[in-house]
Amino acid sequence: MTLILAGVDPAAYSGLEVFWFIVIAILWAGYAVLEGFDFGIGIMLPILGRDDLDRRVLINTIGPVWDGNEVWLLTAGGATFAAFPNWYATLFSGFYLPLFLILAALIFRGVAFEFRGKRPEPAWHAAWDNAIFWGSLIPSILWGVAFANVLRGVPIGPHFTYLGSFFNLLNPYGLLGGVTTLLLFSLHGAVFASLKTTDDLQARASRTARVIAPGATAAIVAFLSWTYVNAHNAHDAGLVPPFVPILAIASIAVVGWLLREKLDGWAFVATAVGLICLIATIFLNLYPRVMVSSISPKYDLTIGNSASAPYTLKVMTIVALIFTPLVLVYQGWSYWVFRARVSRPAAPGPVTGASGPTTGASGPTAAASDPAAAASGPAAAASGPAAAASGPAAGATLDTTSQPTESGTT
């Protein structure tokens, strides 16, 4: 391992540039973990949902948090724009089409969450369920393709100009990256469904996760092995402690066993650790580069030649240190409040979302069609390190009487 890549002047970047590189890596890791299970639930919708009520239960598991999880993506993009404008410009111009497809998928997916419960017709629900599925599947693949190509290298020439096309990104290594993130997010979502549902739906989610786990393990082994070979051949290993990719592989490999032992909470922790270590491996392998040029190393973008002025970084750091802890505390609290499992009612009925924490509630138990009752979050493990808490939010069930609101999900 080397801290500084050959040909890169250590004086070309400062502590603030390193700090913001780390911050952006953390934001992407958080996005992968939090939005990863949202994508996984969307992908699992036609697989686990045998009827409309099952699919409604699955959507309600992420009802309170899916939009908040996407804030991590917005923050990562905003931080990149402000801290490393040259990186942002090259990335968003070179990857314009895949990023456009991701954005379009996320828009349709968000609209589907809001509009699914506006009408009772099965055809209406089916159409929006398809939008949720494709709006989850497409980003799950394209994010892996994008990150793999950032690490592998793309044709970047003088003045940070991207000289390739969309089809340059569809190389075998990039496609393997897409398959890897697709399988990891699907596994993460299936484990989350096992953690957040009850009875037969919970059992199906656990079985499905155990089926996906070997494929996800094989994919991450293949991707990280190929990544190591590429870095070794290019003599650009970055700064990757060997335990990081090993931990990524081991975490995914034990998921099946943890689920067989009914340790749903630990299984969710394992998939989260696997995703964090995967993102960490990519960024540590890149350091101090942010994008690799396949034409010549002299055209690589680094944290030095792509950063904003020191004063900009200083102001950003002050603002981040003040407001980031507040945001994290608020989001952590919301996960704690929305921690209950979502159960299927005995008799189906027309269910639509409600936005208030007490709408459609009967007694102390909030309705699951209310996003506030569709509890979710890493703290919601039924077993393992974060047992599902009892209390006013626990044991949520679907309410069949609540009326639709603009922010509800069903």
Residues 6+ apart with CB under 8 A from 59: 41, 45, 113, 116, 132, 374, 409, 410
Residue 166 — pLDDT band, cuts 50, 70, 90? Answer: confident
Predicted local distance difference test score (pLDDT) of residue 30: 94
* Phi-psi map region of 183: left, alpha, beta (phi>0 left; psi -120 to 50 alpha): alpha
Predicted local distance difference test score (pLDDT) of residue 164: 86
Helix (H) or strand (E) holding 140: helix 122-152
Per-residue pLDDT tens over the stretch 33-50: 999 999 999 999 999 988
Q: Residue 378 above 50 pLDDT?
A: no
Percent of the chain with pLDDT over 70: 80
**What residue segments make up the domains of the chain, in order of their start?**
10-329
Predicted local distance difference test score (pLDDT) of residue 401: 32
Per-residue pLDDT tens over the stretch 211-234: 999 999 999 999 999 999 888 777
Predicted local distance difference test score (pLDDT) of residue 76: 94
Q: Kindly give the interhelix angle for 66-83 and 15-48, rounded to the nearest 10 degrees.
A: 150
What span, in angstroms and rounded, lies between the C-alpha atoms of 188 and 175? 20
More confident residue, 287 or 347: 287
CATH number of 10-329: 1.20.1630.10
What span, in angstroms and rounded, lies between the C-alpha atoms of 397 and 367? 5
- For residue 216, the one-letter residue type is A
What span, in angstroms and rounded, lies between the C-alpha atoms of 85 and 98? 19
Pairing of strands 396-397, 289-291: unpaired
Q: Confirm if 39 and 384 have CB atoms less than 8 A apart.
A: no
Predicted local distance difference test score (pLDDT) of residue 67: 86
Q: How many CB atoms lie within 10 A of CB 23?
A: 19
Per-residue pLDDT tens over the stretch 61-111: 998 888 889 999 999 999 999 999 999 999 998 999 999 999 999 999 999
- For residue 49, the one-letter residue type is G
Predicted local distance difference test score (pLDDT) of residue 63: 86
What does the DSSP assignment read for 82-129? HH-HHHHHHHHHHTHHHHHHHHHHHHHHHHHHHHGGG---HHHHHHHH
Residue-averaged pLDDT of the chain: 82
Residue 13 — pLDDT band, cuts 50, 70, 90? Answer: low
Maximum Cα–Cα distance across the chain? 68
Residues 6+ apart with CB under 8 A from 213: 187, 252, 253, 255, 256, 259
Mean pLDDT of 322-336: 89
Of 53-62, 89-98, 350-359, which range is least confident?
350-359
Q: How many CB atoms lie within 10 A of CB 186?
A: 27
**Cα distances (Å, whole numbers) of residue 174 to 2, 25, 222:** 25, 19, 12
Residue 119: is it exposed, middle or buried by C-beta count within 10 angstroms (0-12/13-18/19+)?
middle
**Which parts of 153-239 fold into alpha helices (H)?**
172-196, 199-234
Predicted local distance difference test score (pLDDT) of residue 346: 53
Per-residue pLDDT tens over the stretch 187-203: 999 999 999 998 899 99
Predicted local distance difference test score (pLDDT) of residue 237: 62
Predicted local distance difference test score (pLDDT) of residue 240: 81
What span, in angstroms and rounded, lies between the C-alpha atoms of 193 and 60? 10
Q: Residue 137 above 60 pLDDT?
A: yes
Helix and strand element counts for the chain (H, E): 12, 4
Percent of the chain with pLDDT over 90: 59
- For residue 152, the one-letter residue type is R
What span, in angstroms and rounded, lies between the C-alpha atoms of 301 and 303? 7
Q: Residue 331 above 50 pLDDT?
A: yes
Q: Confirm if 295 and 161 have CB atoms less than 8 A apart.
A: no
Closest-CA residue to 351 (of 120, 193, 197, 121): 120
The residue behind tokens 């069930």 is 397
Predicted local distance difference test score (pLDDT) of residue 341: 86
